[in-house]
Structure formats: C-alpha cells, structure tokens
C-alpha cells in the first residue's frame, strides 16, 4: 500500500493548517524557484507543492510515491519562503511532508545511515576511507592524466569532480581541542566542526580556528560532537535530528563559551534551529533556546569583533556565491563580502544572481541529476560573466557543486571558503 489512510494520518503529526491554507496563488514564487524555472511545470513549483500538500492533507489526494517525489524535488533553497506575500513557507512545507511520510512508514536504511553512521564520527570516517585511498595513492591523478575520467558515465564523472583535495586524516584527529589565542584571551568560543569540514575541507576549518585565535579568541573544539542533523532532516527523520540536537547541546553545555562558531552554512542554520526543534520538549526547550542563541557563523562572529587588519596582499579577482543556508536561513549576507573586501589586493566582483541556488541542495546531484545540472549551468554562466579567478562560498555542499561545474566547463577558477583567504592574508602566526 503506497497511500496513507485517514486512520494512519490521524496518528502522525501533520503540518499546521496555516502552512498551506493561505496561499493566494499569486505566482511570485514561480519566478524565484530554481526547479520551476527549469521544468516550467506547475507541480515543480512552490505553489504546486502547496496545492498538492493541501489536497493530500484534506483527504482529496492519495499520499502516493509521486506526491512525495514532488516534495523531494524541492531544493529547499528558501527563495519561495522569502518572497511569499502572505507568509506561506512552501520549502518548509515540503520538508514537513517528507517528515509525515517517514512518521507513517519509516525506512530502515534511514535508521542505518542517519541514526548509526552519521551519529558516529568514526563510522563516517570509515565510509570515506576509499576516497582517501583513491587520492593518496595517486589514483585520482592517474585517472585525470590518462583521460580515464572522460570514459565514466556523465553522472559519475560529475560526482567525482565534486571532490576537493581530501586530507589524509580527518581534521577531528589532529585539531587541538583547545587552541589558545595568539595574543590576549579576550573571548572564549566553542567551534563546531562539521562532518564535511572535518572529512573534506580540513584546510578551511584549520584556517577558521587560526583566524579566531589571531583575533584574541581561545577556541574550544570538542571532538565528540555529532552531525548537526540536516541530512536526516532533509530525508524526513525529525526524530533522529532531535536526538542529534540533544547530544550536541549537552556537549557544549559542559563548556564555558560565549559563542558557538561554525564555518559551515548548513550546520549553522541547523544549529540555530535547535530552539524551535525542541520547543515543545519540557526538558530541553530552554537548553535548546540558549544553545541556538549562541550559534554564530564565523563571518557573522568575526564581524562582531574589533577585527585585526590582515597584513598581506592577495592579488586576485574574487567573487562570492551566497549559500542558501547562510543568506536566507541565517540572514548572513554582507559579512562574508565585508571580510573579503578587507583584504588588500583582492578585487571583489559581485556575482550575478549570487543568491540563486547552485543546485547542490545536499544530494540533488545524485537524486535529481538533470535538474541539478541545469541549475549549476546557470551558476557557471554567471561565474563566467564575473570574470573572477576565485569564487568563495561558506558551504561545503556549495563548494563541491561549484567544483563540479568548474571542471565541467574547464574553467581556471579556485573554489575556497572566504575565511581561507582571510587566513592567507594574515599569513603565518609570527607575521
């Protein structure tokens, strides 16, 4: 049976009526939706998903696999949530329908992936071991030099192109749990080391800790944190997200820190949402609210400080791709740009449609390849217009997607985290 019966629907937590009843069908969301702009099909639009959700929740439409597929096609970029004049939040509604499906008929593979593997850092590291071997033994270099990559199916080729230079060891194993300030300890902050940052982008997070230390911060980076919960949330497992949230909150409660800093846009938006996520839990509501109130994206936190001016020049043209989970979810828009403009020698060029989704949305290049690729091509066309040598972005998923697009288009553009450039401009600690 692929539908949800009325009796079963009564036993789960459906979205509140005000999340779907007030749509006035004005169509403003159509202009900003990346999936609709590619497909031009009503069901691929925020307005269409709201209508489908309402019909299902009112019993006029079966909760069929096709209905849920429309919810999973949503990139969750939040552009529709921002533009809706009556406060409908179609992106959140699509997530709520995914949660509804999992409440009604949970899938065992999600328990394994999100409940076991992603809840244990050691397990995550083991799953990426083949990738580290592929790179460290020189196999990747051989594949590229012999042109073997071009023999791969397009999807596999593009997924391989997403990979950055993978560190030999996850950062979690050698990042000190306490990094003293380079000068006076004026601030004590917690650093949240995300999964992708530890496994794939260790250079960026190492730079983040150095920049914090450079600016009078004593940095505490506990190793026993778990995944922030966004992967599980994206696949409807709200129960597992709450479990991960409680664990992470408890970890930082044992530390005396004024802020919890993260350099991952997706992690930041999820961590800031713990307060809402656990607001109905009497044992955790206040603890979650206190935790989320202290979470800061690193660019946001640095711009709140009397930031020290970097001493080195970086002569290059740079542009900035704004991650959806940073710009829209956290309203952190100007700060990354301001940090880049602080560096002498960098010529900042605004990227056309900088806040338009890159097509990553976590796993869309795997699950909805063609649509993700079309959205990525749009981003690459804008990157060509900008004429930049470097594109900065504070989200590992975006960086991987941009890497794939740049390799597809044979562009000579470097993809970095903005803080990595700031760290380079500061130079070595004794400079």
Which of 302, 325, 350 delimits the end of a domain?
A: 302
Q: What is the mean pLDDT of the chain?
A: 91
Which of 83, 104, 125 delimits the end of a domain?
A: 104
The CATH number of residue 22's host domain is 1.10.1060.10
Residues 177 and 225 in one domain: yes
Residues 375 and 279 in one domain: no
Residues 137 and 207 in one domain: no
Average pLDDT for 69-98 = 93
d(CA 41, CA 269): 30
Average pLDDT for 110-122 = 86
Confidence of residue 1 (pLDDT cuts 50, 70, 90): very low
Residues 120 and 99 in one domain: no
pLDDT of 285 = 97
d(CA 100, CA 59): 14
Would you say residue 1 lies in a domain?
no
Average pLDDT for 325-349 = 96
pLDDT of 20 = 82
Residues 97 and 30 in one domain: yes
Average pLDDT for 187-198 = 94
Residues 157 and 176 in one domain: no
In this structure, are residues 417 and 394 in contact, taking their beta carbons and an 8 Å threshold?
A: yes
Residues 220 and 241 in one domain: yes
Confidence of residue 6 (pLDDT cuts 50, 70, 90): very low
Residues 325 and 400 in one domain: yes
Would you say residue 166 lies in a domain?
no
Confidence of residue 429 (pLDDT cuts 50, 70, 90): low
In this structure, are residues 262 and 271 in contact, taking their beta carbons and an 8 Å threshold?
A: yes
Report the number of distinct structural domains present in the chain: 4
List the Cα angle 165/169/173 in 5-degree steps: 135
Average pLDDT for 289-312 = 96
Predicted TM-score (pTM) of the model is: 0.92
Residues 374 and 407 in one domain: yes
Would you say residue 431 lies in a domain?
no
Return the closest-CA partner of residue 379 out of 32, 30, 34: 34
Residues 294 and 180 in one domain: yes
Confidence of residue 168 (pLDDT cuts 50, 70, 90): confident
Hey, what are 217's tokens?
Answer: 């911060």
Residues 339 and 295 in one domain: no
Residues 340 and 250 in one domain: no
Q: Please check the confidence at residue 327 and state whether its pLDDT lies above 50.
A: yes
Domain coverage including residue 87: 6-104
What is the tens place of the pLDDT at every residue in 382-402? Answer: 999 999 999 999 999 999 999
């Amino acid at each position: 049976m692929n539908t949800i019966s009325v009796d079963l629907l009564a036993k789960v937590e459906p979205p509140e009526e005000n999340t779907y009843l007030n749509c006035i069908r004005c169509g403003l969301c159509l202009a900003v939706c990346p999936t609709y702009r590619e497909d031009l099909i009503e069901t691929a639009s925020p307005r269409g998903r709201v209508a489908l959700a309402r019909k299902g929740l009112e019993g006029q439409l079966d909760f069929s696999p096709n209905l849920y597929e429309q919810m999973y096609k949503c990139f969750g970029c939040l552009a529709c949530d921002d533009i809706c004049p009556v406060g409908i939040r179609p992106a959140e509604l699509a997530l709520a329908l995914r949660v509804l499906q999992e409440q009604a008929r949970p899938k065992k593979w999600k328990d394994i992936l999100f409940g076991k593997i992603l809840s244990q850092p050691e397990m995550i590291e083991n799953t990426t071991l083949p990738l580290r071997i592929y790179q460290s033994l020189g196999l990747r270099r051989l594949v590229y030099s012999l042109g073997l990559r071009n023999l791969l199916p397009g999807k596999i080729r593009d997924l391989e192109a997403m990979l950055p230079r993978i560190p030999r060891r996850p950062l979690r194993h050698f990042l000190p749990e306490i990094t003293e300030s380079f000068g006076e300890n004026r601030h004590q902050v917690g650093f949240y080391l995300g999964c992708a940052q530890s496994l794939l982008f260790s250079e960026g997070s190492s730079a983040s800790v150095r920049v914090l230390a450079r600016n009078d911060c004593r940095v505490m980076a506990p190793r026993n944190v778990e995944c922030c919960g966004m992967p599980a949330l994206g696949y409807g497992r709200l129960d597992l997200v709450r479990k991960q949230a409680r664990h992470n909150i408890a970890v930082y409660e044992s530390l005396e820190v004024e802020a919890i800093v993260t350099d991952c846009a997706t992690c930041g938006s999820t961590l800031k949402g713990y307060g809402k996520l656990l607001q109905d839990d009497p044992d955790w509501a206040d603890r979650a609210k206190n935790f989320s109130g202290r979470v800061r994206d690193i660019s946001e936190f640095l711009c709140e400080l009397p930031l020290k001016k970097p001493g080195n020049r970086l002569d290059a043209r740079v542009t900035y791709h704004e991650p959806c989970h940073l710009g829209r979810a956290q309203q952190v828009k100007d700060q990354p740009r301001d940090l880049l403009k602080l560096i002498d020698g960098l010529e900042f060029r605004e990227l056309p449609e900088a806040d338009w989704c890159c097509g990553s949305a976590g796993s869309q290049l795997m699950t909805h390849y063609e649509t993700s690729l079309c959205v990525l091509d749009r981003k690459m066309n804008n990157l060509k217009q900008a004429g930049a040598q470097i594109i900065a972005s504070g989200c590992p998923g975006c960086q991987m997607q941009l890497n794939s697009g740049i390799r597809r288009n044979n562009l000579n553009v470097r993809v970095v985290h903005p803080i990595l450039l700031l760290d380079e401009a500061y130079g070595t600690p004794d400079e």
